[in-house]
Structure 1
Amino acid sequence: MNLSLYLLTVLIWGTTWIAIKLQVGTVAIPLSIAYRFGLAALVLFAVLLLSRRLQPLNRRAQWLCLAQGLCLFCINFMCFYTASQWIPSGLIAVVFSTATLWNALNARVFFGQRIAVNVLAGGALGLAGLALLFWPELAGHAASRETLIGLALALFGTLCFSAGNMLSSLQQKAGFRPLTTNAWGMLYGALILTGYCLVSGTPLSFDWSTQYVSSLVYLAIPGSVIGFTAYLTLVGRMGADRAAYCTVLFPVVALNISAFVEGYQWTAPALVGLALVMLGNVLVFRKPKVVVAPVLAR
């Protein structure tokens, strides 16, 4: 079951970049994100109500959902969308892949979980592999003030993503399932973004073209309803550090799709990077050896 959820998350999030590119246009970025999570919340609430699986939440759980919505379905996306204006997407992918390491550290700080050496080693290998995969894009980008701002935003977005992981883990430890907490979190995220648009004077527009609507539906249902539910379920089952290795693998899926759609050319360094990413995956999911102490005869 865990393997199926893991592969589903990687495949879905590895293809959402196509839909995100189709979203860029006449509609403001924060409004597009609000549409995405507003629609996702509507679908989740409808499914949960019809199946009678919507869990009642106490006041504490609602506050945690609000915080999760702010971190995971609002600030996180605003940071990455804004950072993409100043730094290459490859650099954003490399920064985002550090979520594996941040999750391991945060789980240690907030939950007292032991940091597994294999997860740290696998995350480091995956990070190095992504750097090689995107090296031509990174090497050709000159450092500047805008680059530093973009890096800071990407890092802050990654920290918000990690904080959202911790909040979901906390909710699941209290017995609240990701389907219910995601529905509320996405609703809160959409409302916060809509409020931001109203306060900032962002035009409340909509693009009724087939391209925009179809990409919105893909981002809302497979990308958000299914993707985030599968991922956060993994956070509860496997731990936030191991689940976050998805952030290393889905750029690899995106590059493979780009090879067919956009003519991406694989190079020797990129292939070495791919090998490092896959080796990191093996390390992250390697089960620790159980050492059995010998029984001494009396």
Structure 2
Amino acid sequence: MSVPAAYLAVVLVWSTTPLGVQWSSQGLSPLAGALSRMFLAAIIGWIAARLLKVVVPWHRQAIKTYAVSNIGLFFGLMSVYIGAKYISSGMISVLFGLSPIASAVMARFLLKEPPFSLAKWMAILTGVSGLLVIFSQDVAFTERAYTGFALVGVGMLCFSLSGVLIKREATTLHPLAQTVGSLTLATPLYLLAGMVFGLEVDSPQPRAIAAILYLTLFGSFIGFFCYFYILKHMQASSVALVTLITPVIAISLGVMLNGETVTENLIIGTAMICTCLLLFYWGDLLLGRIGLRVGRISN
């Protein structure tokens, strides 16, 4: 598989996952939906691994990699599933739009990357300001909504941390093996969490069942396979740049398919977060060109 094709697949999957998470919890508890998704995806993964003759190892280093992956797959996704009951699918994607910044900050300390430049600090300030603009609309955000934002924010940080730590491990595992091993480990973790917090199933709607099946095949199996594949061939912060595209698509899908409302503050805040990502990755080049032009004029 080519890296661009895998990257496009991740963009499409991440754009549709927030809406799928919301729909999959209609008629059953969030953890019941998540457990169903992980269990079915693990089964599909094992079948694929057997057909393709890919060995899924369980030595110490492999288990460590699966555990690191589950910082995002279990802790992160569980937080998103619970938080999705309180905020729109578009807002979930907007919050995850800050994951490149979170990944870069974590990589700065965990991977010993160079200190941030002026452009990157400007980007971080712009991103935080974008969130404040969104939060400032008190009419649209109740106390339950703030709870949802907090949970999804924790989920975003867990995904970012997981990606950075996977890069630090420099794993040599086959992406399919890493996907299957991570899903296999995630299944009992979700089962245990469900036994503690509840696995209620109350006549799930057909749309919920369809969403679970979609998330099983695309959101979990294909999505995580492509994610681990591009993570193996690209920098963690570059992989997280997928979230520059997904908010616009996710918000559009939420409006068209889920009847969600787009407020003025949401549009402005989302635009600021996208600007923040552009500044973070290309701000140094832009400032360099501006500085060069100013120098020529002064001469």
TM-score, normalization by structure 1: 0.77
Distance across 2 between alignment mates of 1:238 and 1:7: 14
Q: What is the SS of the residue equivalent to 1:109?
A: helix
Instruction: Identify unmatched segments of 5+ residues in structure 1.
Output: 290-298
> 1:152 Cα deviation (Å)?
3.5
Q: Do 2:38 and 2:220's aligned partners in 1 also have CA atoms closer than 8 Å? A: yes
Call closer, same or farther: CA 1:280–1:175 in 2, change over 3 Å: same
Superposition deviation, residue 189 in structure 1? 1.2
Name 2:106's counterpart in structure 1.
Answer: 106
How many angstroms apart in 1 are the aligned matches of 2:210 and 2:195? Answer: 25
Write the mapping of 1:63-212 to structure 2, written as runs, cut at 5 A: 63-69=64-70, 71-87=71-87, 89=89, 91-114=91-114, 117=117, 120=120, 124=124, 127=127, 131=131, 135=134, 138-142=137-141, 144=143, 146=144, 149-171=147-169, 173-200=170-197, 202-203=199-200, 205=201, 210-212=206-208
Distance 2:129 2:98 in 1: 12
Which digits, 9 at most, give the CA deviation of each residue in 1:137-184, with x for residues without a partner? 94533565x56544433332222112221343245x231133211211
Determine the structure 1 residue equivalent to 2:231: 235
Quote the residue 2:6 is aligned against: 5
What is the distance in 2 between the residues matched to 1:35 and 1:233? 24
Is the Cα–Cα contact under 8 Å of residues 22 and 211 in structure 1 kept in the other structure? yes
Moved more, 134-143 or 178-187: 134-143
The Cα offsets for residues 170-213 of structure 1, whole Å up to 9 and x where unpaired, read as 45x2311332112111121121111222344544x485754333
AA partner of residue 187 (structure 1):
T
**Distance change >3 Å, CA 162–CA 208, structure 1 → 2:** same
2:218 aligned with 1:257, yes or no? Answer: no
Q: For residue 281 of structure 2, what is the aligned residue in structure 1?
A: 284
> C-alpha distance in 2, partners of 1:105/1:57?
31
Distance 2:196 2:273 in 1: 46
- 1:29 Cα offset (Å): 1.0
C-alpha RMSD over aligned residues: 3.8
Contact map agreement 1:119 1:242 (CA 8 A) in 2 = no
Residue 36 of structure 1 corresponds to 37
Helix, strand or coil: the match of 1:15?
helix
Structure 1 residues 231, 130: CA separation in 2 closer, same or farther (over 3 Å shift)? farther
Amino acid in the other structure paired with 2:158: C
Whether the 8 Å contact between 2:87 and 2:149 is mirrored in structure 1 is yes
Q: Give the stretch that moved more between structures: 238-247 or 118-127.
A: 118-127
1:126: how far off?
A: 8.2
Counterparts of 1:270 and 1:112 in 2: how far apart (Å)?
Answer: 35
Q: Which has more helix, going by share of residues?
A: 2
- Cα distance in 1 for partners of 2:136, 2:262 equals 13
Counterpart AA for 1:109: F
In structure 2, the residue matched to 1:293 is none
SS of the aligned residue for 1:140 comes to coil
1:27-82, CA deviations, whole angstroms, 9 ceiling, x for partnerless residues? Answer: 2211110111111111112111111122424213213313422x122221221232
| AA matched with 2:139 | G
Q: Secondary structure at the match of 1:244?
A: helix
Offset at 1:220? Answer: 1.0
Query: Could you say what secondary structure the match of 1:114 adopts?
Result: coil
Query: Retained in 1: the 8 A contact 2:6–2:227?
Result: yes
Within 2, Cα distance between the matches of 1:287 and 1:47?
44
Residues 19, 219 of structure 1: 8 Å contact kept: yes
Gap regions ≥5 residues in structure 2: 287-299
Alignment partner of 1:60 is 2:56:
no
Report how far residue 15 of structure 1 moved: 1.6
Aligned partners of 2:151 and 2:266: how far apart in 1?
Answer: 28
Q: TM-score, normalised by structure 2?
A: 0.77
CA positional deviation for 1:253: 0.7
Q: Percent identity over the alignment? A: 20
Structure 1 residues 243 and 117, CA gap change in structure 2 (3 angstroms): farther
Give the 3-state SS of the residue equivalent to 2:55 in structure 1. Answer: coil
Tell me how far apart the structure 2 counterparts of residues 267 and 257 of structure 1 sit (CA, whole Å): 17
